[in-house]
Structure 1
Amino acid sequence: MKHPYLTEDHEIFRKSLRKFLDKEAYPFYEQWEENRLIPRSFWTKMGEQGFLCPDLEEKYGGSGVDWGFSVVINEELERVGSGLVGLGLHSDIVIPYITAFGTEEQKKRWLPRCALGELITAIAMTEPGTGSDLANIKTTAKLDGSHYLVNGQKTFITNGIQSDLILVACKTDPNAKPKHKGISLLMVERGTPGFSRGRKLNKVGLHCQDTAELIFEDCKVPKENLIGEEGKGFLHMMDKLQQERLVVAIQAQKAAEVMLKLTIDYVKSREAFGKSISQFQNTQFKIAEMAADIEMGRAFLDQLIAEHIESKNVVTKVSMAKWKLTENAKKIASECMQLHGGYGYMEEYEIARRFRDIQVSSIYAGTNEIMKTIIAKKLGL
């Protein structure tokens, strides 16, 4: 299906990226899964080829292109495997905070190395006792002369082990009323005194994506590392969550498309009772249902991406897409595994990995229950 927001330049770019991934990612992906880590060398290779942060201005190390190129990158990384989500988080979720709210000095200091993959980023919102309720985070940052002293814990942090720059949501005014007005964003750099990493978390899926606990004990962060305005951190996060949730929707849609193709190929080759199982009516009906759901999801998503690229406010539609497309992908994963029969439960078949990996998509970037709450509020309920 032709994406309405993509041009011939985007498709040439896609071919180049796919050729790169055929050489640098597909042959090694299973080993990365076993190692529970994507090597930093892959990040730097991506950066050297211009496949990280392509929409950054050229003076900061990017290519200055439209966000359609980022869509292509996220789709092609998802085709390899969902465990590559950390690269999309780096380019399309963390870096936009610096470009939108960072000072010129911060941009010059960090962005060129981020574009090259020399600096890996993470964003730390979630805490052991606080997930979607961001206004109630407990991590504090107290200004002490030229530094903030940060204390608290974060968990489920994507890129947590390898990250060099971590955007940390913290309370600079614990007594603020309402609570969200006390939140600020600080960039914590690798090696900062008082900052340490806890466990690399052992997850059900996304095995090659490093996810970790982060610990701050009188962590001494220069006040120059404040991103945006003090006390405006919650508003800054709300401003950028639209794109984060859209990235998750894009990944879920592509995962569904990949799983359907895997399953069609499998049912055509697998025989039972003397004929291909693709000839059974039940198989055909299941495939037809999934194909229809995927086509409708793609049509909605493509229109949504086009509106986002035009800088339209699409918070309601993004919440709908994040909810519906992740739930759709989870359902398709289950149906596709069933059509693979016993082989679908075997790790050597890709559908088993896809089934594991897609489950978290309805949880991160705001749970799907939160998405429904946002939709209801936007509808005036």
Structure 2
Amino acid sequence: MPARRVLADDTTVDLLRLVRTIAHEQLAPRAAEAEAEEAFPRDVFASLGRTGLLGLPYPEDVGGAGLPYGAYLQVLEELGSVWASVAVGVSVHTLSCFPLARFGTDEQRARWLPDMLAGDRLGAYCLSEPHAGSDPAAMRTTARREGDEYVLDGAKAWTTHGGHADFYTVMARTSDERTGISCFLVPADAPGLSADKPERKMGLTGSATATMRLDGVRVPLERRIGAEGEGLRIALAALDAGRLGIAAVATGLGQGALDLALGYARDRETFGQRILDHQGVAFLLADAEAAVVSARATYLSAASLADAGLPYGREASVAKLVATDNAMKVTTDAVQVLGGYGYTRDFPAERYMREAKVMQIFEGTNQIQRVVISRSLDKDARCDTGVVEQLPVPALAH
């Protein structure tokens, strides 16, 4: 296990050591076979939950660990360096808990969050729809109020853990207004809720992705999270957090590919010397190191804002954009370093490259991230008074 430099307190360092041990001793030996067989590792999430890794950024009084977001993201990176499907699953589960944790009532949090954060209940997040793509305000799934219940009808596409989750955080339209969307916590055994056949994907084949169908699904009023019509705001806030999760996973994926390529370059010899000693290969690896380090710094910078309670939406988009683009470059170059072996399934380099591609697509495509960033820049420019506000620099870990 190559050494990594982290900026954290003793508690976080100890946590990362534990996660690295779990990742390399328990997850890495299973990853290749599970991905090849497209087997969803449900038991892994239960095990991670028992270890306390499914509730790291949430308060202790509801079953979480109460850790800074930066610490949680570094855990995702460690998991992503050996098994991206599991790391993405942890990120999505955390995302699916976000609306309840942030916008739910005290009674709702006390009732449902402890089991969710303990790993007894695996979550899924239902926002995207087949026709809407990156425009959540265009959703057609509806939630019609009938007395003390809502009746949900529609379809949700690209649902990670679809068909395997124990609960689904669902966004549905409750009025004809473009932003008339509400958030619901739907149990997996609700009558009328079903999953289509899983998508056949290029990568992340150990992660189940399916369209969820809602056909007259009845949800009690008590399972609405936040006020009616508040769902779009909840969804967008959750996506900011989710984008940081994917940035961390992508950074881990890049780190894993770099570790593999570096090990191969040190051991393989051509023309009487290690291929690492050939400048063409050495510079590829140097660029990969720069890409991984810069991605890590970018997501940790955004996390420091989140931990300080400051707005971080633009920074989350920057982190997601930088980390996933860098992961695509690093994994592609790792295949190149391994040469012909990199193109075979005897080494995980080709799997890393396939997994990196989707990182540029989900949680908002990187084109959407550029839209978010550019609009934010324009807004700041129009509101600029010519004075830069001096803010205290928050610590990366508490």
Q: Mean alpha-carbon deviation: is it higher for 109-118 or for 301-310?
A: 301-310
Give how far 1:289 is off: 2.3
Question: Could you tell me which amino acid in structure 2 is paired with residue 188 of structure 1?
Answer: V
Equivalent runs, 1:223-262 vs 2, <5 Å: 223-262=221-260
| More deviation, 55-64/131-140 | 55-64
Q: Determine the structure 2 residue equivalent to 1:128.
A: 130
Whichever residue aligns with residue 64 of structure 2, its letter is G
- TM-score, structure 1 normalization: 0.93
Percent of pairs identical after alignment?
A: 30
Alpha-carbon distance in structure 2 between the residues aligned to 1:101 and 1:368: 27
Inter-partner Cα distance in structure 1 for 2:254 and 2:293: 10
Instruction: Indicate the residue corresponding to 2:205 in structure 1.
Output: 207
Q: Indicate which of 153, 156, 160 corresponds to 2:155.
A: 153
Q: What are the equivalent positions in structure 2 for 1:140-219 lying under 5 Å apart?
A: 140-173=142-175, 175-176=176-177, 179-180=178-179, 182-219=180-217
Amino acid at match of 2:360: S
The question of whether the paired residues in 1 share the 8 Å contact of 2:163 and 2:194 is answered with no
Contact persistence 1:10–1:68 (CA under 8 A): no
Paired position in structure 2 for 1:267: 265
Distance in structure 2 (CA, Å) of the matches to 1:246 and 1:317: 9
TM-score under structure 2 length normalisation:
0.90
Contact persistence 1:262–1:351 (CA under 8 A): yes
Change in 2 beyond 3 A, CA 1:277/1:312: same
> Take 2:62 and 2:261, find their aligned partners in 1: how far apart are those partners?
43
CA distance in 2, matches of 1:34, 1:80: 15
Amino acid at match of 2:133: G
Is the Cα–Cα contact under 8 Å of residues 91 and 242 in structure 2 kept in the other structure? no
| RMSD of aligned alpha carbons | 1.7
Q: Corresponding residue for 2:103?
A: 101
Q: What are structure 2's unaligned runs of at least 5 residues? A: 380-398
2:93 is matched with 90
The alpha carbon displacement at 1:124 in A equals 0.5
Q: Which residue of 1 aligns with 2:36?
A: 34
C-alpha distance in structure 1 between counterparts of 2:270 and 2:31, whole Å:
32
Displacement of 1:3 in angstroms is: 3.4
Equivalence for 1:111: 113
Cα distance between partner residues in 1 of 2:252 and 2:206 = 19
2:368 paired residue number:
370
User: 1:10-44 CA deviation, whole Å, 9 max, x = no partner?
Assistant: 11111222233344322222232234233332222
For 2:234 and 2:342, the matched residues in 1 are separated by 43
Rounded Cα–Cα distance in structure 2 between residues aligned with 1:49 and 1:246: 22
Q: Structure 1 207/338 Cα, relative in aligned 2: closer, same or farther at 3 Å?
A: same
Which piece of structure 1 moves more, 280-289 or 192-201?
A: 280-289
Structure 1 residue corresponding to 2:326, chosen from 328, 353, 365: 328
Return the offset for 1:207: 0.9
CA contact (8 A) 1:147 1:223 kept: yes
Q: CA deviation at 1:297?
A: 3.0
2:288 aligns to what? 290
Amino acid at match of 2:275: I
